[in-house]
Chain A
């Protein structure tokens, strides 16, 4: 990471609603806290939720998607309004259970691709009770 591109997100200790974003840069000393530069507070909601009516949260259980950065207990941001296409990570309901996998649309049909060598890809057939529930847009991790 290069330092010149670094932008400061100053946390506001007075209120707990977020942080004020000064985009004056840091190359010439301290940013001036002048009101002219004050913008709307950073909101994680705004960043992570593009369509609030269609967005739901879920928690990951297990490690089948560890290669895609989805670890046990991570928080998933799911947007149901996004069309399911090849390569998207989707929350699916498969034979009575929710599962999160990468969608692979091949000539021979739809596959659910885990991102962990210990797990096998699953081919969806007409035998399966299968629904694509929503598309994962973000993962939130606790460190």
Chain B
């Protein structure tokens, strides 16, 4: 069985842990340079504050509605995220960090006969230890665990924050409730085409024939359909459509022991994530780097570690991302391990496409045209003809962060003060 654990309004919840006076009041989190709204508490959503609202236009709105505004505090969010992910490891050896605030777990059904109870236990432990509320969805496939998670989130009183799809009736009911636009991996384009075909719910989608889906869409959608039917097609290893993060995680052909080899791989993965970011016009604020030893070599020590890196500013420059990713490798690399697998996840994504922000952009301005040139050349000549060499990066400009909370967990001079 798969579980999807998702932190509710993660950024807003992180702020509330250290400023509990805002527990029941509307909160908005602004993008870098305080440009626009990137996260909202439930209360702010209920008032009608839209996602992406430009902060300068909404100043009066914030005040009228008593919305507490925060600049994004990625060092805080990054640390709280790694606490949550480490707690999840206590429940399963197979955890896939999916984005800064959500992860998939493979649950052992022999050890855990009461999945509902297990879900509550996961939820309660994270809540007590970190103060962060989560929703837990449990089902036989990844796509269904996403659906279950949405139900847990939507009906907290009824579900207690945990929902398990463990029968065919529940699955059908859940799929009928799920609108097609809310199905994991169904983008806007696809949604339009499906609506034209009179497909409005996830259930409608599963009623289509395999051949039709495959012919009209692609194998990805067919896999998704099977997953929704309860047939496991997406595993933890798979690359799948993502919105909130982009990951490149690969097993090596051989095992590596030298940090140089690992760094080369990680730089390559970082580069590939950066390309994907530029493709979809996003920038990331955070990286998660994973290292893992070979699982099958019994006589060598096994090792698995990950580290979260908070970038000084949002970027999609391969140079910057590869630089921080390789730096992070030195933090978690241990000698004497046969490494078999590494990964780079970029998360804390924001849209790059905002001219208004350009004048404040912190990335070296030379990177943008350079990246464009690299992408164009690579597209023209195919493959990755143009690669990165180690390059030093110049200084950056200071961001605007007028509503920044303290870095309660990463800076000694900013910890809580208690009377």
Report which A residues bind B (CB closer than 8 A): 51-54, 56-62, 64, 75-76, 80-81, 91, 93, 96-100, 131, 133
Contacts and interface: CB of A to CB of B under 8 A. Distances in A.
Contacts of A76: 418
B419 A51 contact: no
B332 interface: no
B417 A61 contact: yes
Interface in B391-416: 408-409, 412, 415-416
B351 to A, nearest CB: 32
Contact of A53 (B21, B129, B415, B417): B129
Contacts of A52: 86
A62 B419 contact: yes
B54 interface: no
Looking at A52, A75, A76, A98, the one whose CB has the most chain B CB atoms below 10 A away is A98
A40 B266 CA distance: 31
A85 to B, nearest CB: 14
B233 interface: no
Given A58-B417, A62-B419, A53 B86 contact: yes
A92 to B, nearest CB: 9
Nearest to A51: B129
A98 B87 CA distance: 26
Contacts of B130: 53-54, 80
B417 A59 contact: yes
Interface string B82-105: 010011000000000000000000
Interface in B250-297: none
B129 A100 contact: no
A96 B21 contact: yes
B215 interface: no
Contact of B128 (A62, A75, A80): A80
Given A53-B130, A54-B130, A80-B131, A97 B409 contact: no
A60 B415 CA distance: 10
Looking at A52, A54, A57, A76, the one whose CB has the most chain B CB atoms below 10 A away is A54
